Amino acid sequence: MNLQNLGWNQYFEDAFEEYKQQGFEVGRVTLEHKRIYRVLSRHGELLAEVSGKLRFNALERQDYPAVGDWVVITLRPGEPKATIHAILPRKSKFSRKAAGNTMGEQIVATNVDTIFLVTALNADFNLRRIERYVLTAWESGANPVIILSKADLCDEIEQRIQEVESIAFGVPIHAISAEQNIGVEALATYIYEGQTIALLGSSGVGKSTLTNALLGEGKQEVQAIREGDDRGRHTTTHRELIILESGGILIDTPGMREIQLWDADEGFSHSFSDIEALAETCRFRDCSHVKEPGCAIQRAISEGSLDKNRYASYVKLQRELAFLERKENRQARLAEKAKWKQVSKSQRKINEDLY
C-alpha cells in the first residue's frame, strides 16, 4: 500500500515528523463504526481503537478520529490491529450540526480536497439547499463542485444550470447521468492520484450510483427512490473511503436529512458577498435594512436587482449563526467544566488510594 495513493503529502509528512522519530506508524481512516476504525496503512488494512490517553483527553466529537483522518498508530504484534494515539492536523473538515436539537458536531469527512455536492434534476432540485451546501463546503476548506445528477430525467438542463450559476457564482457545475454514463468522464479533472473527493447530497440523488460508475464496479449498494416525491430511502448507512485504482480517493456518504450550518463566517460571506457589498453602501453604517432612509438593500429589493427570498435566507442564516455561536460558547464552557470535575475526581481517587 503506497501512502501517496491514499492522499499522503508534504503537509502530513511535516506534521508526522515528530511521531516518526519516536517510531510511530501512520494510516488513514476509511471507516468508522462505534469507535472501531478501519485504517489503511503501509501494512495494509488494520482494525483500530483509540488509546486510553486519546480518549481521556478527548473533550468533544472532533477530538476523535473521523473518516478521512490521518492517524498516528502503533501495530499490535501478530495481528492486523492497531492503536490510534493521535490525529494529524486536518487540512479540511466538513461538519454539520447533528440531526435533532443537540449541539453535537457531526464530522462528515476530513482532509477532503473537493466536495461533489450532488443534487438530482428531479423533484429533489432545490436552489436554497444548493446554496446552503455551497456555503458549508467553502467553510470546510475544500473546493465545492456542483453535480446535477439524473440529467437523463430533465428536459431543461440549460435552464437549471443557469439558475444554479446565479446562486453559486464561480463554482463549477456539471450535469451528469451516472446511469447512462453521460458527463461522468468530465469529472476526471478532479479525480486523480492523491486527491480526496467527498460526495454529499440528499438521499436518493445518486451518490452511490456515481461512486460505482467511477469505480467501474457495483461495490456500493443502490436502491430505487420512492415514487411520488422522489425521496431516497437512506440506502448508504455509513461514510466510507474508497480508493480508485485509476488514482483518486472517494468518500461516499449517507444522504443528509438536514443540513445545518456549523460555523460559517468565511464560507458565509463567500456566497453572499454581493449582499454584504450592497449593505456597505447604505447611508447609515448600522443600518438594519428594515426602513431606514437611504437603505441600499431595500432599494435593491424594490428595484428587483436583489431577490427578496435570497435576502431572507441571508438574514435567516445570520440569525442561525449568531445563535450557534452563543450556544457553542456555552457548550464549550460546560464541557471544560465537566472535564475538570472528572480530573479532580480521579485525582481524589488517587489520593484516597495513596493514603
Ligand X SMILES: Nc1nc2c(ncn2[C@@H]2O[C@H](COP(=O)(O)OP(=O)(O)OP(=O)(O)O)[C@@H](O)[C@H]2O)c(=O)[nH]1
- As a whole number of angstroms, the distance between CA 310 and CA 317 comes to 11
- As a whole number of angstroms, the distance between CA 188 and CA 145 comes to 12
- What is the full DSSP assignment across 304-344? TSS-HHHHHHHHHHHHHHHHHHHHHHHHHHHHHHHHHHHHH
Ramachandran area for residue 61 (φ above 0: left; ψ -120 to 50: alpha; else beta): alpha
Q: Report which DSSP code applies to 290.
A: S
Q: Of 150, 195, 198, 194, nearest to 175 (Cα)?
A: 150
Among 119, 236, 271, 298, binds Mg ion (CB under 5 A): 236
Q: Tell the smallest beta-carbon distance from residue 109 to ligand X (Å).
A: 14
x-or-dash string of contact with Mg ion, 302-341, rule CB under 5 A: ----------------------------------------
Segment near ligand X (CB under 6 A), from 96-104, 166-174, 188-196, 207-215? 207-215
Q: Which is nearer to ligand X, 133 or 314 (CB)?
A: 133
Q: Are strands 70-75 and 81-87 parallel, antiparallel or unpaired?
A: antiparallel
254 binds ligand X (CB under 6 A): yes
Q: Tell the smallest beta-carbon distance from residue 99 to Mg ion (Å).
A: 17
Q: Tell the smallest beta-carbon distance from residue 210 to ligand X (Å).
A: 7
Interface with Zn ion: number of residues (CB under 5 A): 5
232 binds ligand X (CB under 6 A): yes
Q: Tell the smallest beta-carbon distance from residue 154 to ligand X (Å).
A: 10
202 binds Mg ion (CB under 5 A): no
Q: Report which DSSP code applies to 247.
A: S
289 binds Zn ion (CB under 5 A): yes
Q: Tell the smallest beta-carbon distance from residue 150 to Mg ion (Å).
A: 14
Among 47, 157, 161, 222, binds ligand X (CB under 6 A): 222
Between 127-140 and 157-167, two packed helices, what is the crossing angle to 10 degrees? 50
Q: Which is nearer to ligand X, 25 or 124 (CB)?
A: 124
